Each structure stands twice: as C-alpha cells, then as structure tokens.
Amino acid sequence: MDKSTDKIERKILEEALETKSLGRRLFFYEQLDSTNAQAKRLIKEITGADNSKEQENTELTRRADSLNGTLILAEEQTAGRGRQERGWSSPKEGGIYMSFILRPNLPAMSCPMLTLVAAIAVNEAIGRVSGLESLIKWPNDIVINGKKVCGILTETTGLLSEGPNIILGIGINANRKDFPEELKINATSIAKEKGSDINSYLLVAEICNSLERYYDKFAARGDLTLLKQDYEKHLVNKGKQVRILEKEGEYLGIALGISEQGALLVETEEKEIKTIVSGEVSVRGILGYI
Ligand code: BTN
C-alpha cells in the first residue's frame, strides 16, 4: 500500500472507532500469507518461546494480555485459510482480510462460542454500512441474497497456564467484482449485491465497535444466553429444512435455533432433536448452500 493511502485509510478507521480495546493496536500490511498466521507469529514474538517456570508464566501471561484487541489487516493474502482445511480466495481487489487477537478471561470451553459472537457482530456491521439485509448461516457465514459474503475462522494457541490466545480471522467479499467459476455459485460481494462500493475501512471500524459490544455481553455469562435472540433473529436457516452432512452420512431436519453453547438444534424427520456441534459437520439448504 502506498504510504499516503495507508495513512488515509488508517485515519478513516481510527476516527470511526468507538472501542476501548478492539482495533486500538493496528497493523496494516500490503500483503501477507494469512492474517491469522501473522497473528500467531506476533503472539510468539511478544511472548517468547520458553515458558517452563512459574514466574515466567506470569510474565508470559502479562505479555500475551497486552495483545488483547490487536487487529491485523492485509490488502491481499497469498495463502488465505478457511474452515475445514479449505483455502480462502484473497485477491488484492475488493477483499477485507482481518484478524483479531483476543485474550478472553474465560474458560477454554467458552472460547469456541466467540465465533458465533463474531457472526452477530459482523452481520450487524455489514447491515449498518451497506444498508442491505445480511443473514447468518450457522455457525458463522454471512450471506446476502442466499450467497456468502463473509467467512470467519477462529483458531486457538497458547498453553493452559497462560490462558488461550484466540485468533479471530474474518474474510469479507466487500467490493470484489469477479469470482472464479467454482466460487460463483455460492459467493457474492457486498458491492455486487448493493450495486455500488462500500467504504471498507468504515466497515472494519464498525466490526470492531459491534464486536466489542457483543463480546462484553457474552463475557458477562461466558455463554450465549444473552445473545441467543440476537443470533436467531438473523439466522437464515431458522425454521427451514436443512441437510446435515456428517462423515457417517447425511440426514434432513428442521433447524430450530441454537443452544446456549452455540450448537445448532435440528429436529429430524423422526421428531428427534439433534444437537449439532460445529467442526466437521456441514449444514446445507435443501437445494444448495442455503
Ligand atoms: C471460512 O472458511 O468461511 C472462513 C474464512 C476465513 C478467512 C479469513 S481472511 C482473514 C483470516 N486469515 C485467513 O487466512 N483466514 C481468515
């Protein structure tokens, strides 16, 4: 990125930020392999490798905590990564590639729920900046008019003694105009659906603002009790027939909503309520992606 553009974009972002910590420490890159990979490198660099002694652990925790809220942004990724070992197409034109480092003061078992918290926040921010109705496809894709505009990849590093580092990677097809043939069926961009470009840096700031608000609501309970309604209100699958694809096979059911822990609740044709935990399972609509 040429330095003057970098400064202008930084300014737009910083002026729109209303947060205490999210996005306050910002790293911009013209090109990275992956913003999630860069976040991991940064954590390693700041905390160092040796953590064998107790007093060093306290120092490690302090250093890791200092990274809470850090945001890494890249204009382009050469090895963008998606969920389930897939890649994430990350060309220079029109994409937003961002990763937060979070140090939640929560038990490790609560951390996977953060990905649903992020989905609520990103969905709200996209709606606010674009004026379009966007929806969440469980667990954390954001869709507009039935096609995907955003994916979220949450990863965890760190030892139990110093608490987990959460890396929350968000990829958005913001102003992208072209997609390769194999992505065209299920992917779109905000600009394509709106018919005009959006301000990407304003969207990044709005994501920081929304995420901090929802994160505080989540942290109050350590689960999704207070956010279930916010999530389900925008859940594209709710009340619809879905196809659950598991390693062992697939079955049909009606998506009822989510549990307080973020699992998808599905009523099967045999009237059994299944609790679908994110991971290896994929959820599809009856005819396709939605
Ligand atoms: C998905 O499969 O839907 C998740 C895609 C997540 C992509 C983002 S782009 C920024 C961050 N860096 C990566 O390498 N991946 C995530």
**What is the chain's pLDDT, residue by residue, as a tens digit (290 residues)?**
445 556 788 899 999 999 999 999 999 999 999 999 999 999 999 987 554 555 567 888 888 899 999 999 999 999 999 998 999 999 999 999 999 999 998 888 888 899 999 999 999 999 999 999 999 999 999 999 999 999 999 999 886 667 889 999 999 999 999 999 999 999 999 999 999 999 999 999 999 999 999 999 999 999 999 999 999 999 999 999 999 998 888 999 999 999 999 999 999 999 999 999 976 678 888 777 88
CA distance 8 to 144: 29
Question: Is any ligand 1 atom within 6 A of the Cβ of residue 153?
Answer: yes
Question: Is any ligand 1 atom within 6 A of the Cβ of residue 171?
Answer: yes
CB atoms within 10 A of CB 181: 6
Identify the pLDDT of residue 52.
52
Identify the pLDDT of residue 48.
76
Query: Measured between alpha carbons, how far apart are the two ends of the chain, in Å?
Result: 36
CA angle 137, 83, 70 (to 5 degrees): 95
Q: Which amino acid is at 16?
A: A
**Ligand 1 pocket mutation, candidates 99, 123, 153, criterion most atoms within 8 A of CB:** 153
Identify the pLDDT of residue 23.
97
> Which is it for strands 147-157 and 141-144: parallel, antiparallel or unpaired?
antiparallel
CA-closest residue to ligand 1 atom 16? 169
CB atoms within 10 A of CB 239: 10
Joined together, the tokens standing for residue 47 give 């905390």
Question: Is any ligand 1 atom within 6 A of the Cβ of residue 152?
Answer: yes
Identify the pLDDT of residue 158.
82
> Is the pTM here over 0.75, yes or no?
yes
- Distance from Cα 82 to the centre of ligand 1, integer Å: 5
Using an 8 Å Cβ cutoff, are 26 and 215 in contact?
no
90 CA closest ligand 1 atom index: 9
- Distance from Cα 58 to the centre of ligand 1, integer Å: 31
**Ligand 1 pocket mutation, candidates 75, 81, 154, 186, criterion most atoms within 8 A of CB:** 81
